[in-house]
A and B are shown apart, each in its own frame.
Chain A
Amino acid sequence: MELVTPGIGLIFWMTLSFGLVLLILRKFAWKPILSTIRERELYIAGSIRNSKRIQRELAELDATKEKLLLQAKDKAAEVVQQAKKEGDEIIIKAQQQAREEASKIIDNAKNSINAERKAAEREIRQQIVDLTVDVARKLLREEFTDNKKNNDYVEKLLGDIQLN
């Protein structure tokens, strides 16, 4: 029976001690412990959220990078093509210019050659006339004394030659 009879002294001291334990632990133990645990949980949850966000951003960044790379490649190809085209154009232009220049030079040369030739022809003809006259005079000194007659004759011969 004494086992199940509560004692007033024990209840009194128990109430006092347990009440004090409750107050002390609430203030000095549970408050810091629980707040630290909660803070840590928030920190961990935040870190997980952050890492997920970073992962997502990284994936986005990766996609952007890929896209940019592709764009850059396209651009580069375009630039190269453009450059090639421009180069070709320049070459063609230069070639044309060169050709024009060359043909001009050739024309000039031809003209001067023609002029030279005509001069030379004239001179040669003159010399031929003179030589022929000389030769003819030497050959026909005796036969042809009349200069006038001779000249006419030679002119006539020369005209034949020219006609030929």
Chain B
Amino acid sequence: MKKLAFLLAFFLITNQAFSGSKEQEEPAGKKKFDAGKVIIDHILDAYDWHIADYGDTHISIPLPVILFYEGEGYFFFSHKFHHGKDAYKGFRIAADGPKKGRIIRVMDDGVTPDPNASFIFDLSITKNVFSIFISAVLLCWLLISVARSYAHCGPHRAPRGLSAFLEPLILFVRDDIARSAIPEDKVDRFLPYLLSLFFFIFFNNLLGLVPFFPGGANVTGSISVTLTLSLFTFMTLHLFANKEYWKHIFNTPGVPFWLKFPIPLMPVIELVGVFVKPVVLTLRLFANITAGHMIILGFVSLIFVLGAAGTVMGFAISPLSVIFVIFMNFLELLVAFIQAYVFTFFSAIFFGMAVPDEHH
């Protein structure tokens, strides 16, 4: 069975390689396969959900664009941009420049960026936003149905089905993350947040590895998302932080006084630490997930790069690429779990620091 699945995957991807290289042949070298651009395009957010290319036809799901510009609201679907080729109502997806991939204001000719344009408040439902909606709904549905089965079966029966699958994870978060980092009597107030955080990251990491709709969006590899997550941790931390925590920052115990007065060296260091924590959380998750996606896309692109050089080469390299992609996918499954664990664990450690026991 495993062998069969492997062969199937092999043929699917080599087929893709074949058609892919054919596509490269057809325009007769008109456009070269740019692996870097493909990879970045796949990792970045987008205004439509690209599904497949067939020849020159792009198949994609148009997503709503919501803009507020100079006090006026704009709402339309992203197919009006024709995959970034056209401008609509004076807006356009920037093809290059510092705002590449984002919506910019253009002059009447529909190409030149407007130099006097003010800030565009862009609340579009992009690919990542849409993916977040889907995963949020799925996650809620999944966990609430599990909660139902718990409520239904009661405490005197062993969990079964989905609950049996999720309970080790729940216990893992509770015992190995929350209880190991936070004082015993304060665990309960952080536990729902830590569990939601863990499952949200883990679920989105896994969805990110599914190469087709509704997966494939790089949600946890988007710096906006990881930044938001770490800001949630930051806010929760300071919402629950007690006196000891602030005392530890502004009057660190166990440190010689000349480090605190007249030059407040320790308080400055501690205060920097407060803001470094969320930044580190943001960057770690973002970098790990993005890097994984890049490597997988790199191996897939290798087929097309060499396929562009010669069909035989593309065929020759595809088994190797497929093996590496499969290997990387397994590694990414591991990373998906580890990064969810690490983010949650560090959040728990920060919470533990925010609510130290009053006696010491």
Asked if B129 and A13 make an inter-chain contact with CB atoms under 8 angstroms apart, the answer reads yes
Asked if B146 and A29 make an inter-chain contact with CB atoms under 8 angstroms apart, the answer reads yes
Asked if A28 and B156 make an inter-chain contact with CB atoms under 8 angstroms apart, the answer reads no
A25 and B228 CA atoms in complex are apart in Å by: 18
Q: Is A36 close to B, CB under 8 A?
A: yes
Question: For residue A5, which residues in chain B have a CB less than 8 angstroms away from its CB?
Answer: 223
Asked if A34 and B227 make an inter-chain contact with CB atoms under 8 angstroms apart, the answer reads no
Interface of B is mostly: helix
Asked if B227 and A6 make an inter-chain contact with CB atoms under 8 angstroms apart, the answer reads yes
User: For chain B, which range describes its interface: under 10, 10 to 19, 20 to 34, or 35 or more residues?
Assistant: 35 or more
Closest chain B residue to A26 by CB distance?
B192
A15 and B228 CA atoms in complex are apart in Å by: 6
A21 and B142 CA atoms in complex are apart in Å by: 12
Question: For residue A22, which residues in chain B have a CB less than 8 angstroms away from its CB?
Answer: 192-193, 196, 232
Asked if A3 and B40 make an inter-chain contact with CB atoms under 8 angstroms apart, the answer reads yes
Asked if A20 and B136 make an inter-chain contact with CB atoms under 8 angstroms apart, the answer reads yes
Q: Among the listed B100, B133, B147, B232, which residue makes an inter-chain contact with A32, where contact means beta carbons less than 8 Å apart?
A: B147
A140 and B234 CA atoms in complex are apart in Å by: 172
Q: Mark out the residues of chain B between 141 and 186 whose CB falls within 8 Å of any chain A CB in the assembled complex.
A: 143-144, 146-148, 150-151, 154-156, 167, 170-171, 174
- Seen from chain B, the residues whose Cβ lies within 8 Å of a Cβ on chain A are 40, 43-45, 66, 98-102, 121-126, 128-129, 132-133, 136, 139-140, 143-144, 146-148, 150-151, 154-156, 167, 170-171, 174, 191-193, 195-196, 199-200, 222-225, 227-229, 231-232, 286, 290
Q: Could you list 22 examples of A-B contacts with CB < 8 Å?
A: A7-B102, A8-B123, A10-B126, A10-B129, A11-B227, A14-B228, A18-B132, A19-B232, A21-B139, A21-B196, A22-B232, A28-B140, A28-B144, A28-B147, A30-B195, A30-B196, A32-B150, A32-B151, A33-B150, A36-B151, A36-B155, A37-B167
Beyond contacts A6-B223, A8-B121, A14-B132: 16 other A-B pairs, Cβ-Cβ < 8 A, are A2-B102, A3-B40, A7-B224, A9-B129, A10-B225, A13-B123, A14-B225, A17-B133, A18-B200, A18-B229, A21-B140, A21-B196, A25-B144, A26-B196, A36-B155, A37-B150
